[in-house]
Structure 1
Amino acid sequence: MPRCPVCQTKYVADQTENCSVCSWNLQGHSLLIGLIPEISLKEQARLKWAQNIWATVKPAREQIQQFQSQLQEADQTIAQLHSELEQANQQCQKLLATLQQRESDLARLLLQADQLNHELSNLRGQLEQTNQLQVQSPTPEIIEAESQGQTLLELEQSQITTALPIKVQTLIFQVVTVDTQGQLANCYGSEARYFQEKLENVALDMIILPGGVFWMGSQEAEQGRESHEEPQHQVTIEPFCMGRFTITQAQWRAIANLPSIYRSLNPDPAHTKGENQPVEQVSWHDAIEFCARLTKLTKRDYRLPSEAEWEYACRARTTTPFHFGETITPELANYDGNYIYNLEPVGKYRQQTVPVGSFQIANAFGLSDMHGNVWEWCADSWHDNYQEAPCDGSVWEQAELQEHRLLRGGSWYCLPSLCRAAQRHWDKADHAGSGIGFRVVCSSARQGE
């Protein structure tokens, strides 16, 4: 393939009239003109002149091409920077939205702190008045509930003056939290105050819980949230006592063998047998009868917890879906481990109840098995949401369907999302399933000598 005599660019003979680079005429002259010496000399001089010009222009042309290449690269860099700037702007908007949410949460927490300080001030005033009365005349001793370094809170004196004496003891237990993958994030020892009720040859441990204020219901972004868990609302809870575990079969039998008050009780209703297994297959009416007999035996006012009391006790000052944190694992609770809630791996599905306290851990209040194992009856009637719900922790009775009663905590056969602290469920009051049990609460207690 021939080359241009000026710039040495290749071209196709007889098909290219002018060079594509330097524009030199590539068509050859006729033989007649080539034989004329004057014309031949002029053509050679013109070619020599063009070659000299090209030798001068070529470096500048190469620089121009280099500049053009650099300009293209600069344009690409600018476009990339524009894209990165756009992404940065979007991230900035997200961060601003997050900051606004954090500011809102902080304002809410500050409001709660103010309310708690006000309540603490009132409690201190009540305690001072009580101490003054005790100096003037003898009065029954008052149980003080202590929780993780908080100021001692006074429990209300029992209205039943003939109640059996109790001895307050200290319970030492382990509290754990996990991350979204179910891995241990924190583990620490804690303690709580409790007393025991003696039921024949078995004891019933009652944890003394401090009062407080909490947000009941699930947050909008909580995974597995359902419409009947809203609107989230603030509730004030008075101090009360709650069973460390759900009622066991041994405890159930001790009370079921006592004389009836409203109805008879099957002393051995559970499907999965075991003295320390939770009692199940008990209806709401059965649980009410149990509380009535226990009250008559101890002379203390035993009952089912209100729904608000149950959630407050379960959360133990946490705001996460579980008191363990953002997820749950079969190493912490008894549920259907074939399913996951967050990023934790699939785990064991035991397909039945396990003895109470099997996992050797508790929440920050000292309560165990609040998630899974058996559903727990609450005193309230069922409502489709929290519109007009009481904010003082009391039982919410007014409802169209009085026979639909509250269940909390999930069970051994449940998906993990059904074991959340905010999860609500219902069943008919006369129904008794293999995954339904209960734990008892006591509004007040008297300390024995």
Structure 2
Amino acid sequence: MPTALSLPPVMPFRWACAYGEDRTGLWQAFEVAGVRQVMRWIPPGEFLMGSPESEAERSDDERQHRVVLTDGFWLADTACTQALWEAVMGANPSQFKDDPQNPVEQLSWLDITDEFLPKINALAPGLQLVLPTEAQWEYACRAGTKTPFSFGENVTTEQANYDGNFPYAGGRKGEYRGNTVPVKALPANPWGLHQMHGNVYEWCVDEYAEYLEGTAETPVAHQDKTESRWRVRRGGGWVSPGGYCRSAYRRAGAPDVPDYNFGFRLARAAC
């Protein structure tokens, strides 16, 4: 939970249509064309990013290292919905359109950074939304935990939307839904963030690269828009095996290639 020293400097911000505090912390919401998105306050702190060598199904690019985030930030409590995307863009590219509260998908990194973010920020002056850095994303996904999932040592399809035919590390098999589900259909993590494991991969702003040695203090993402530079996706998706939904799991993708498994979550600096 945030402490008094870690609270944002102004409450509420002028972009907020509502705000409050609940058992998981502070939140503020904004609206575009009547579509509301809640942003949760993620306090500054430090954590071990990546996975220990003992973690099952880990990859070599998950080398564990200490990260210090000196500044708090705001993070959307859900992946961006089809409703919000359509309110901003006027169209819906998604494959699974049965519910406007499903996450928007069929998105490339460039669709978000070059098209959506400039438009939504123009519609709501002062909002200044961005994609989270990879370090911010994993810190928020873990929500203070050190286990493979924010829910513990394993995960079930009652907690996350993935291919339950391929459970993690000997876990029990579960449902394979074969599609996305609404962004709040499954439980939130301890910081009130829904479905950071599964449903859709979430693009981060970072260029994909090996982790550097030693402690990283407030890592700044590379933002070179050269299309040959791959970007980071996190969290796994509805078609992924359970192990791909781990907090530490990383995936690289070409920034100009969309997929029905790719979505995103909005972030904003502290002030």
TM-score, scaled relative to structure 1: 0.56
Structure with bigger helix share is 1
State whether structure 2 residue 65 is matched by structure 1 residue 241: no
Alignment CA distance shift 1:400-1:196 (3 Å) = closer
Contact 1:371–1:411 under 8 Å retained in 2: yes
Contact 1:199–1:251 under 8 Å retained in 2: yes
Contact 1:376–1:409 under 8 Å retained in 2: yes
Matching of residues 233-312 of structure 1 within 5 Å: 233-257=66-90, 267-273=91-97, 274-288=99-113, 289-299=115-125, 300-312=127-139
1:194 & 1:225 partners in 2: Cα distance?
33
Contact 1:281–1:434 under 8 Å retained in 2: yes
Question: How far did 1:291 drift?
Answer: 1.7
In the other structure, the counterpart of 1:176 is none
Q: Deviations over 1:262-296 (max 9, x none)?
A: xxxxx110001021110000110111121222222
Contact 2:18–2:30 under 8 Å retained in 1: no
Question: How far did 1:255 drift?
Answer: 0.9
Q: Deviations over 1:240-263 (max 9, x none)?
A: 000000000000001113xxxxxx
Question: How far did 1:339 drift?
Answer: 1.4
- Structure 2, unmatched stretches of 5+, are none
Return the match for 2:18 from 167, 170, 186: 167
1:271 & 1:396 partners in 2: Cα distance?
30
Return the match for 1:366 from 192, 210, 213: 192
SS in 2 for 1:334: coil
In the other structure, the counterpart of 1:79 is none
Contact 1:315–1:421 under 8 Å retained in 2: yes
In the other structure, the counterpart of 2:144 is 317
Identity value in percent? 34
Question: How far did 1:166 drift?
Answer: 4.4
Q: Deviations over 1:157-213 (max 9, x none)?
A: 69xxx9535432234xxxxxxxxxxxxxxxxxx332111111112101111111111
Contact 1:322–1:420 under 8 Å retained in 2: yes
Alignment CA distance shift 1:297-1:400 (3 Å) = closer
Question: How far did 1:232 drift?
Answer: 2.2
- Structure 1, unmatched stretches of 5+, are 1-146, 172-189, 258-266
2:225 & 2:213 partners in 1: Cα distance?
12
Matching of residues 47-446 of structure 1 within 5 Å: 147=1, 150-156=3-9, 163-171=14-22, 190-257=23-90, 267-273=91-97, 274-288=99-113, 289-299=115-125, 300-359=127-186, 361-387=187-213, 390-397=216-223, 403-445=229-271
| Greater Cα radius of gyration, structure 1 or 2 | 1
TM-score, scaled relative to structure 2: 0.91
SS in 2 for 1:311: helix
Letter in 2 for 1:254: A
Alignment CA distance shift 1:411-1:438 (3 Å) = same
Letter in 1 for 2:206: D
1:430 & 1:369 partners in 2: Cα distance?
24
1:316 & 1:202 partners in 2: Cα distance?
27
Contact 2:42–2:74 under 8 Å retained in 1: yes
Contact 2:65–2:214 under 8 Å retained in 1: no
Letter in 2 for 1:219: P
Question: How far did 1:152 drift?
Answer: 4.7
Contact 2:67–2:135 under 8 Å retained in 1: no
Alignment CA distance shift 1:226-1:401 (3 Å) = farther
SS in 2 for 1:303: coil
Structure with bigger strand share is 2
Alignment CA distance shift 1:152-1:253 (3 Å) = same
Contact 2:26–2:41 under 8 Å retained in 1: yes
Letter in 2 for 1:374: V
SS in 2 for 1:309: helix
Letter in 2 for 1:278: P
Letter in 1 for 2:6: L
More RCO (CA 8 Å, sep 6+)? 2
1:381 & 1:330 partners in 2: Cα distance?
30
1:208 & 1:224 partners in 2: Cα distance?
31
How many residue pairs get aligned? The number is 267
Contact 2:169–2:243 under 8 Å retained in 1: no
Letter in 1 for 2:242: P
SS in 1 for 2:204: strand
Alignment CA distance shift 1:292-1:353 (3 Å) = same
2:174 & 2:92 partners in 1: Cα distance?
31
2:228 & 2:129 partners in 1: Cα distance?
21
Contact 1:284–1:429 under 8 Å retained in 2: yes
